[in-house]
């Protein structure tokens, strides 16, 4: 039976807002009706908290409506006829004098039809503040397009400083505060790169300063993490600044094998045939190899104990709902390393499908391609890897399974300690979640 209540996915307006909310000390203003702001402010404040108070009474101002982030001009029918200038001026007067590194104004799709000169209005009020105006966030386009188009507009608007190239440095391109575990993802990838003697120059774009963005051309290489959020940006930087980029051909570094392949690929792209001979750097790379092997041993110990008694996790069925880059990497780890069986490999709506062909090849190799034709809502699996909303819907349908969140929206679990499914730490966390998930499904 066809399931008609699939989640509504974020669109290009949301992509634009979260691209800019990922910049440190930014004020992102929505020129939009009140209803457009609540979701964006709630997610941004939860994923990237800057204020110590959660009490809505601390934010009673007209433009904030009890939330600390993403003020809006609360447009109504009058403003759509006579323009939003008066309300925008009032909001700009309210924030004038605050120490913002960037003020960004994002039109809602409806407000884009009004035709106000937002940049002219804002420049008159904030002549000395870095400013970016997104007049048209896209009409019903994808989150990924809105995110990348907005960051390209920002990079074109900033004076990027070329300077001297740092030969052992990279920019990490393609991550957002809308990624569930973005803090842990960044920390783990930066940590592993450092073990290989590689410094991170800039992360585009989550908890990033304008100064970091201005230094982007000084890195020797752009490394794409989530391709759906970074490939177009990397291509722009290659065209505009001659910067090479590395796109991992297996999607994401999930699992021990793909983590090793990802790091090897970055090193090969960065150094080419002139691999460094420095003894200190060799020691660092040796430290990565030793840590990776130790993690394999730790995982094997726990897996072997469970397998010796039950035969699991081999044969455990799973469903995954995500972008194709994530689908490929999760499926490779679960199938090739753990011997689990894919019931449903489900792309989320608006997925650019950059890795769908590779995913199909992987499944056909094991004669399991039927998983690509099954919806996560229809398959009944032992483990479901998806967002909190899908997991909740499946629970309400009476399915017996363990749900493991890999995407937003969340069920509300508060992550005090940064977590990740990427790299070595992420591989161990996944093994832990799977072993415990089998016990409580």
What pLDDT score was predicted for residue 45? 94
Closest CA to 10 of 393, 409, 362, 295: 409
The reply to whether 166-277 and 288-439 are identical in fold is yes
Give CA–CA dist 281/242, Å, rounded: 27
What are the domain boundaries of the chain?
12-138, 166-277, 288-439
Give CA–CA dist 250/328, Å, rounded: 7
What pLDDT score was predicted for residue 8? 76
Fold of 12-138: Rossmann fold (3.40.50)
What pLDDT score was predicted for residue 203? 98
Q: Which two tokens stand for residue 180?
A: 């569930």
DSSP result, 354-422:
TTHHHHHHHHHHTT-GGGGGS-TTT---SEEEEEHHHHHHHHHTT---EEEEEESSP-----SS---SS
Q: Which two tokens stand for residue 414?
A: 């508060």
What pLDDT score was predicted for residue 232? 98
Q: Return the DSSP state at 9.
A: P
Q: How far is CA 218 from the centre of its chain?
A: 24
Any idea which residue has 């016990």 for tokens?
Answer: 439
What pLDDT score was predicted for residue 57? 87
Answer yes or no: CATH 3.30.70.260 is held by domain 288-439. Answer: no
Answer yes or no: CATH 1.10.150.130 is held by domain 166-277. Answer: no
Ordered per-residue pLDDT tens for the chain, 441 residues:
556 567 778 999 999 999 999 999 999 999 999 999 999 999 999 999 988 888 888 899 889 999 999 999 999 999 999 999 999 999 999 998 888 999 999 999 999 999 999 999 999 999 999 999 999 998 889 999 999 999 999 999 998 998 888 889 999 999 999 999 999 999 999 999 999 999 999 999 999 999 999 999 999 999 999 999 999 999 999 999 999 999 999 999 999 999 999 999 999 999 886 555 566 556 667 889 999 999 999 999 999 999 999 999 999 999 999 999 999 999 999 999 999 999 999 999 899 999 999 999 999 999 999 999 999 999 999 999 999 999 999 999 898 999 999 999 999 999 999 999 999 999 999 999 999 999 876
Q: Which residues contact 346 (CB under 8 A, 6 or more apart)?
A: 319, 320, 321, 327, 374, 375, 376
Closest CA to 251 of 233, 222, 272, 231: 231
What pLDDT score was predicted for residue 279? 61
């Amino acid at each position: 039976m066809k399931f008609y209540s699939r989640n509504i996915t974020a669109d290009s307006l949301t992509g634009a807002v979260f691209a800019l909310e990922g910049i440190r000390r930014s004020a992102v203003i929505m020129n939009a009706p009140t209803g457009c702001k609540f979701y964006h402010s709630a997610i941004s404040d939860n994923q990237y908290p800057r204020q110590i108070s959660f009490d809505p009474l601390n934010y009673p101002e007209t433009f904030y409506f009890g939330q600390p982030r993403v003020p809006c001009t609360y447009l109504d029918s009058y403003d759509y006829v006579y323009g939003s200038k008066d309300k925008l001026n009032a909001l700009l007067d309210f924030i004038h004098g605050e120490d913002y590194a960037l003020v960004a104004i994002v039109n809602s799709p409806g407000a884009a039809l009004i035709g106000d000169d937002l940049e002219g209005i804002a420049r008159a009020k904030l002549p000395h503040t870095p400013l970016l105006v997104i007049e048209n966030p896209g009409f019903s386009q994808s989150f990924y397009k809105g995110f990348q188009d907005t960051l390209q507009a920002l990079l074109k608007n900033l004076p990027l400083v070329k300077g001297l190239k740092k030969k052992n440095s990279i920019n990490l391109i393609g991550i957002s505060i809308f990624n569930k575990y973005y803090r842990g993802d960044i920390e783990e990838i930066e940590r592993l790169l450092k073990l290989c003697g590689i410094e991170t120059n800039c992360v585009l774009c989550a908890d990033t300063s304008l100064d970091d963005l201005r230094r982007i051309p000084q890195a020797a290489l752009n490394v794409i993490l989530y391709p759906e959020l970074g490939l177009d940006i990397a291509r722009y930087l290659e065209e505009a600044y001659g910067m090479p980029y590395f796109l991992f051909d297996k999607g994401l570094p999930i699992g021990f094998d793909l983590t090793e392949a990802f790091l090897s690929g970055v090193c090969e792209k960065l150094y080419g045939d002139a691999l460094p001979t420095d003894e200190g750097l060799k020691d660092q790379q040796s430290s990565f190899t030793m840590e990776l092997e130790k993690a394999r041993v730790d995982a094997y110990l726990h897996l072997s104990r469970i397998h010796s008694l039950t035969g699991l996790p081999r044969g455990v069925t799973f469903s995954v709902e995500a972008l194709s880059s994530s689908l490929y990497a999760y499926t490779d780890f679960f199938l090739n390393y753990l011997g689990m069986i894919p019931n449903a490999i489900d792309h989320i709506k608006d997925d650019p499908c950059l890795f769908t062909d590779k995913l199909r090849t992987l499944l056909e190799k094991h004669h399991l391609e039927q998983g690509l034709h099954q919806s996560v809502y229809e398959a009944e699996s032992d483990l479901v890897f998806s967002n909190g909303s899908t997991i909740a819907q499946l629970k309400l349908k009476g399915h017996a399974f363990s749900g493991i969140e890999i995407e937003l929206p969340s069920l509300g679990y508060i992550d005090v300690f940064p977590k990740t499914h990427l790299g070595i730490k992420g591989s161990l966390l996944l093994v832990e979640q799977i072993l415990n998930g089998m016990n409580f499904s």
